[in-house]
Amino acid sequence: MKRSNILLDNIILLLFNRMNKKRYKTKLKSMDLANFMSLYKKHSLKRVLTLFLVLTGINFSFAQGDGCKVVVIDAGHGGKDPGCSGKGSKEKTIALGIALKLGKLIEDNHKDVKVVYTRKSDVFVELDERANIANKNKADLFICIHANANAKASAYGAETYVLGLHKTEAQKQIANRENSVISFEDNTKKYEELTPDMLIARTMQLSVFLNQSILFANDIQKEFKKIGRKDRGVKQAGFVVLFKTTMPSVLIESGFLTNTTDNEFLIKGENQQKMAQSIYNAFKTYKSQRDEVADVIKENNIEVPENSGVQFKVQIASSRNEVDVAPYNFKGLEGVEKKKVDAYYRYFYGNTSSYSEIKKIKEEVKKKGYSDAFVIAYLDGERISLKKAINLASD
């Protein structure tokens, strides 16, 4: 990952932690960041951030500049896909109940926020379309709501997921179950299996968004605990819907319908309201911190270019033979992407909307020995000419 992205990532974390510095433990990822934190303790946030941006020339090319203005709420399952079930309950019904109640709380209390629902009734929505709705609306936050199931009736409590590699077999099974909605769709071939390599590459691409997702997820779990729900923590797994979104995103498992106590709790409308209120409380914290970031940017006249949708990458190799994208196969480069085009596997490094940044990356990989490396460009997933991409890009 590029040095500037690591620093920017952690600046956002610092901004999010400003109101309570002890809420989370953040590891220092570089000596530069340690120096930054030392300055942060001695001077005002705005002064240090402004100085840092001036010295490094970092562009905020992601959707941070306007605070939190668009929220997409996704009620899991629906229509012909009931999800899991308990005695007298269906996951699709409970998820929709919580989703609608959460949306109303946001709409009633934040007139500056547009709430978009992937569904507002008992209808079936394809998995990739849920993510498409969020991406097309340029959402600042994606909240996906589900209920859980387990072969052991003793399992209970609420947990919140962000995108990543599962650490336990149980987490893998939950992701597999929620991803199994694909089986209800007519065209299942459009989905690729999410391999560990793909998940690692994707989490590196969206590192700033992932950190915001984790902070938001932590607050959700804290709020659940306040109303007496068992806190099962924040976890990572390969959910397709989170993989395809391009903003901070969480998936909430509100409880186990296979557990008598959880099921009896979640089936009641007043308790769905309590769950919605808890998520809303976490949202309020998230929004205030996102808005604070936006205020710092605006007050200091920091230009935030709109994301053009252009992605630049460096092609470093191509081969008829498939090669594992592990760093040891690519001279230590981490985050190499692989794509099959016709009969060839093509390997790419770097992913940025900035043409000046990708040129620096190209020089880096050439120094590694990839003398034939060259820049390519994509727009909304389709390859376009470099000339067109440069005209569309922010710099």
Give the domain CATH number at 75: 3.40.630.40
Q: Are residues 314 and 263 in the same domain?
A: no
| Domain total in the chain | 3
Residue found under tokens 């409380």: 281
pLDDT of 7 reads 41
The pLDDT, as a whole number, for residue 63 is: 42
Among 394, 393, 348, 395, which Cα is nearest to 375's? 348
pLDDT > 70: percent of the chain? 67
Between 36 and 132, whose confidence is greater? Answer: 132
- Cα–Cα distance for residue pair 378/357, rounded to 1 Å: 15
Structure confidence by residue, pLDDT tens digits, 293-316: 777 666 655 554 445 568 889 999
Q: What is the mean pLDDT of the chain?
A: 78
Domain that holds residue 120: 70-293
Same domain, residue pair 53 and 74: no
What b-and-e string marks burial along 331-369, b requiring 16 or more CB atoms within 10 Å of the CB? eebebbbbeeeeeebbbbbbbbbbbebbeebbebbeeee
**Residue 217 and residue 322 in one domain:** no
Two tokens at 57? 């020339």
Mean pLDDT computed over 268-288: 96
State which of 118-127, 133-142, 160-169, 266-275 shows the largest mean pLDDT: 266-275
Confidence at residue 227, expressed as pLDDT on a 0 to 100 scale: 97
Examine the domain organization and report whether 282 and 161 are in the same domain.
Answer: yes
Question: What distance in Å separates the CA atoms of residue 93 and residue 85, rounded to the nearest whole number?
Answer: 10
Would the pLDDT of 136 be above 70? yes
pLDDT tens per residue, range 35-72: 444 444 444 444 444 444 433 333 333 344 567 899 99
pLDDT value at position 315? 92
Strands 337-341 and 310-319, sheet pairing: unpaired
Q: How far is CA 357 from the centre of its chain?
A: 23
Residue 305 lies in a domain: no
Q: Which CATH number fits the domain that encloses residue 380? A: 3.30.70.1070
Same domain, 48 and 113: no
Residue range 175-223, pLDDT digits in tens: 665 655 555 555 556 556 667 666 666 666 566 678 788 889 999 999 9
Would residue 64 count as lying in a domain? no
Q: Look at residue 267 in the predicted model and tell me its pLDDT.
A: 97
Residue 340 pLDDT: 86
Same domain, residue pair 161 and 206 = yes
Same domain, yes or no, for 372 and 276? no
For residues 8 and 25, give the distance between their C-alpha atoms in angstroms, rounded to a whole number.
Answer: 17
